[in-house]
Amino acid sequence: MAETRLPRNSQTHLGRVDGDLRAEANVRISSDGTVTVTGGARFDGSADIHGNFECQRFRSEDGTVHISGNLTAQENIEARDAILEIDGALKARHVDVDRRLKVGGPAEAEKFDVGGVLEGAQTLSARSVSVGGRFHLGGRLTAETVEAGGGVTLQDVAIDTLEVGGAVQVGGGEVRRSIEVGGRFRAERELAFGSLEVGGLAEFAGPAHGGRIEVGGLLNANRDLAFDTLEIGGVGRIDGNGSGRSAEVGGRFSVAGSLTLTGPLEVGGSITVREALVAERLELGGSLETRRAVLTGPAEIGGAVSTREGFKASRIRLQRKSRARGPLVAERVELERGAHAEDIYGGEIDLEEKADARRIFGARVRLRDGASADEITYTESVDIEPGARVRSPPQKAEQLPTFPL
């Protein structure tokens, strides 16, 4: 195939080039609009091309190739130890750039592989995008997989997976499968995602909804957050409402609105829900503070629970030396040794040794040796063992007062 050679430091006007084009370093190419190379184009150093550039294959080595128009390659674009700057659109099959790729217009390829920095002012469409360093895009990103070792700034996204080592800022959109971020993740607007795993800090400025969320460090959601499962090892905060299937909090978790779960809530650390907590069941090793809590199943409380309006479950068990502030309501309420509660409403209420309650309203009430209560109102039976203490005589009633919640 014929080869057209451009010598070092030359200036050339080109239109159609039949065969290959080989340019030495520091060439300037002008055109009437488009340079078309029917074969491969190779640049051995820097080049400045005015107009659009079309070729079968594109390769550059060392230096910067700048194209003021569009770059279209039928096959691959390679830039070895080189920078590629395109003011217009970019289209190729595979794009592999060692140092830096800058595109002013829309970019489209099956695969982008950039060692250093990828900057796009408009949209980018690809099957996969891999960037060793930083990746910034001003328009919509459509891709299956996106990987970057450094910082990533994106606007709207429609991608399957996003894996980033450093800091990620996303405008909004959808990550259909998974987001994995080593460092910091921030979504500015509404974001939908399959799963989110953040080693460091995750921030949602807009509403967000997704599947599994795992945060090793910190989670901040400024608006509502919907999830399937939520696991927080560190500290989590939702300024709106939280909703999902289940949540596990190892550290500290606060919700400014309500938290609604169709499944269990497990808290090893502490959780504050300013409005209502709704869940299927609760296992609390640490502390819970909320306006009201309603569980359809049982609650095991090992630490401290505090409500203003009450805590309702099918069964409540306050474990040894645990504390409850606010009314407790359940079909069965058990206070283990040394546990303390205020008002208790229930069908069956059992206080073990050294357990203490303020007022008890129940069908069947039992105070074991060493347990104590201020008042007891019952409808069926009361069993006060020797050594148990009731500050006022127990009152039998035809009917108990209306239970809270």
Partner 1 sequence: MLDDRDTPRGGARRREATDLYATVLEVVKRYHGAARITRVSYGAGMPVDRLRVLVERLVALDLLRSEEIDGRPAYDITPRGQEFLSTYWKMRAFIEVLESNPDGRPARRRAERAPAQ
Rule CB under 8 A: which residues touch partner 1? 81, 98-100, 115-117, 130-134, 147-151, 165-167, 182-184, 199-201, 216-218, 234-235
Residue 206 Cβ vs partner 1, minimum distance, rounded to whole Å: 17
Judge contact between 179 and 159, C-beta under 8 A. Answer: no
Q: Which is nearer to partner 1, 65 or 384 (CB)?
A: 65
Q: Which is nearer to partner 1, 100 or 281 (CB)?
A: 100
Q: Which is nearer to partner 1, 152 or 349 (CB)?
A: 152
Q: What is d(CA 166, CA 129) in angstroms, rounded to the nearest whole number?
A: 16
Residue 350 Cβ vs partner 1, minimum distance, rounded to whole Å: 43
Q: Which is nearer to partner 1, 235 or 304 (CB)?
A: 235
Phi, psi of 397 (to 5 degrees): -130, 155
Q: Which is nearer to partner 1, 106 or 165 (CB)?
A: 165
Vertex 394 angle, CA 392 and 399, to 5°: 130
Q: What is the largest CA-CA distance in the chain?
A: 111
Residue 110 Cβ vs partner 1, minimum distance, rounded to whole Å: 18
Residue 230 Cβ vs partner 1, minimum distance, rounded to whole Å: 17
The alpha carbons of the chain give a radius of gyration, in whole angstroms, of 33
Residue 78 Cβ vs partner 1, minimum distance, rounded to whole Å: 13
C-alpha distances in angstroms, 133 versus 144, 149, 159, 334?
A: 19, 5, 19, 58
Q: Which is nearer to partner 1, 99 or 292 (CB)?
A: 99
Residue 169 Cβ vs partner 1, minimum distance, rounded to whole Å: 9
Q: What is d(CA 40, CA 78) in angstroms, rounded to the nearest whole number?
A: 11
Judge contact between 223 and 240, C-beta under 8 A. Answer: yes
Q: What is d(CA 376, CA 224) in angstroms, rounded to the nearest whole number?
A: 43
Judge contact between 70 and 51, C-beta under 8 A. Answer: no
Q: Which is nearer to partner 1, 218 or 333 (CB)?
A: 218
**C-alpha atoms less than 13 angstroms from C-alpha of 347 in its C-beta half-sphere:** 7
Locate 361 and state its tokens: 């309203």
Residue 150 Cβ vs partner 1, minimum distance, rounded to whole Å: 5
